Amino acid sequence: MDVFILQLFNGISVSSILLLIALGLAITFGLMKVINMAHGELIMIGAYSTYLTQNLFHAYMPSSWFNWYFVISIPASFLIAFLFGLLLEVSLIRHLYGRPLDSLLATWGVGLLLQQLARSVFGAPNVAVTSPSWLNGGMRILSDVVLPYKRLFIVGLVAACLIAMYFYIYRSLEGRRMRAVMQNRDMAACLGVSTRRVDAMTFAIGSGIAGIAGCALTLMGPIGPSLGTYYIVDAFMVVVLGGVGKLVGTVLGALGIGVFNTMFEYWTNASLGKVLVFLCIVAFLQWRPSGFVAMRTRSLD
């Protein structure tokens, strides 16, 4: 029983991290169809923003406030990654819409550039971010089962991001414009929607969410300039498995990969577990090439 609960929690925890790193990509790749290889670097930017916030708090704030730096660092990393995303879209991505291969190469180059930038600014070695003390420890639910607060916090953060994204995309005026443009750009333009603005905003928001993911990753361990490269494959896997263009699909994709990964790793070992997960994904995509949730409507033309 203890083992079962612990494994279930681990599965959900891994899923939540996967989901957080994939959510931004679900927008930039899922909605906008931009193969953004620099997504990992936007995560890295978010992580370093958290590091910077921490250092600023260290330097300029009374030490009793230090524990609350993390609360500030979440919006801060969103904002900084958002600005980087906006800059990237305006200067580069907007010239590459509808050219997947070009955008793949270009964004990969941007990724390398950003990594080197981080290396030049912060140095090549990993830096550590001190977690706030209120996230240390865990919740004891059975005598042997302790759920770490950090993991619980990430699960909560993902839930909050999901809810915010849901309301933005499906309930707000901006979200409605965004969906209209992504489905039928020309027609949306003919109805007076400013497609340039919508593109820039959408890409920037996707980038901002990657920043939040980076912020959360600082809780899991030290961070370095190549932090993003570890996560980019997972992020794409989640979005592709979930089905492009739907939030629900991304959630299912993350849950599927997270839970199965934990299960397989428990039964076998870490590397074999990963192989089995990949095999399952390949098999699944053979069976349903468009992922868990495919967009379907009656097509009339």
Partner 1 sequence: MLAVRQLEAGYGESIILRDVSLKVEPGEVVCLLGRNGVGKTTLMKSIMGLLKARHGTVAYKGVDLTKRAPGRRAKSGMGYVPQGREIFGQLTVYENILIGLEAAPREGRGRGQANMIPPDAIAKFPVLPEMYARRGGDLSGGQQQQLAFARALASQPSLLLLDEPCEGIQPSIVDDIREVIRSIKADGRTAILLVEQSLDFVKSVGDYFYILEKGAVAWEGTLTQLNDDVIKKYLTV
**Nearest approach, Cβ of residue 299 and partner 1 (Å):** 8
Residue 263: burial class (beta carbons within 10 Å; 0-12, 13-18, 19+): middle
**Nearest approach, Cβ of residue 175 and partner 1 (Å):** 10
In this complex, which beta carbon is closest to partner 1, that of residue 3 or of residue 187? 187
In this complex, which beta carbon is closest to partner 1, that of residue 171 or of residue 271? 171
**Applying CB under 8 A, does 297 fall inside the site for partner 1?**
yes
DSSP per-residue codes, 139-206:
EESSSS-EEEHHHHHHHHHHHHHHHHHHHHHHHSHHHHHHHHHHH-HHHHHHTT--HHHHHHHHHHHH
Please pick, from the candidates 25, 162, 188, 240, the single residue that binds partner 1 as defined by CB under 8 A: 188
Q: Cα–Cα distance between 88 and 75 in angstroms, integer? A: 20
**Nearest approach, Cβ of residue 156 and partner 1 (Å):** 29
**Nearest approach, Cβ of residue 182 and partner 1 (Å):** 9
**Applying CB under 8 A, does 98 fall inside the site for partner 1?**
no
Please pick, from the candidates 60, 101, 143, 192, the single residue that binds partner 1 as defined by CB under 8 A: 192
Secondary structure element (H or E) that encloses residue 211, with its range:
helix 195-217
**Nearest approach, Cβ of residue 128 and partner 1 (Å):** 44
Can you read off the two tokens belonging to residue 194?
């400013």
**Applying CB under 8 A, does 301 fall inside the site for partner 1?**
yes
Please pick, from the candidates 1, 59, 101, 190, the single residue that binds partner 1 as defined by CB under 8 A: 190
Q: Return the residues of window 128-187 that contact partner 1 according to CB under 8 A.
A: 173, 176-177, 179-180, 183-184, 186-187
Q: For residue 139, report the phi and psi dihedrals to the nearest 5 degrees.
A: -100, 125
Nearest to 274 by CA among 266, 264, 282: 264
In this complex, which beta carbon is closest to partner 1, that of residue 119 or of residue 179? 179
Question: What's the DSSP call for residue 138?
Answer: E
In this complex, which beta carbon is closest to partner 1, that of residue 60 or of residue 298? 298
In this complex, which beta carbon is closest to partner 1, that of residue 140 or of residue 197? 197
Nearest to 126 by CA among 218, 222, 247: 222
In this complex, which beta carbon is closest to partner 1, that of residue 1 or of residue 190? 190
**Nearest approach, Cβ of residue 183 and partner 1 (Å):** 5
Q: Cα–Cα distance between 230 and 222 in angstroms, integer? A: 13
Q: By three-state DSSP, how is residue 30 classified?
A: helix
**Nearest approach, Cβ of residue 295 and partner 1 (Å):** 6
Q: By three-state DSSP, how is residue 140 classified?
A: strand
Q: By three-state DSSP, how is residue 127 classified?
A: strand
In this complex, which beta carbon is closest to partner 1, that of residue 170 or of residue 267? 170
Q: Cα–Cα distance between 201 and 77 in angstroms, integer? A: 17
Interface residues with partner 1 (CB under 8 A) are 173, 176-177, 179-180, 183-184, 186-195, 295, 297-301
